[in-house]
Amino acid sequence: MASVHKLYEFDYSSGTIKLKNRKCPRCGSVMAHHKQPEERYHCGKCGYTEFVRARRKGSRGKG
């Protein structure tokens, strides 16, 4: 079982708690964040995978 401090971010000054990872749109479970070999979020419960698009540096149009 995962520790609570790994799943949530705490802001003690404002008293808010925020989930670090995304929730699965299919089943509502917390999704795992994988960075290798390709950055993605994956749900271990239902198998849903959402890939993160890489941001290219300097991708603004030139000229």
- Does residue 48 belong to any structural domain of this protein? yes
Tokens of 19: 């989930």
What's residue 20's pLDDT? 85
- Does residue 63 belong to any structural domain of this protein? no
What's residue 46's pLDDT? 95
Residue spans of beta strands (DSSP E) within 1-63: 8-11, 16-19, 32-34, 40-42, 49-51
**What is the residue range of 29's domain?**
22-54
Which residue bears the tokens 């401090």? 5
* Predicted model pTM: 0.64
- Does residue 61 belong to any structural domain of this protein? no
> One digit per residue, pLDDT tens: the chain, 63 residues?
556 677 788 888 998 988 888 999 999 998 998 988 889 999 999 999 999 887 666 555 554
- Does residue 27 belong to any structural domain of this protein? yes
- Does residue 32 belong to any structural domain of this protein? yes
Say whether 6 sits in a helix, a strand or coil.
Answer: helix
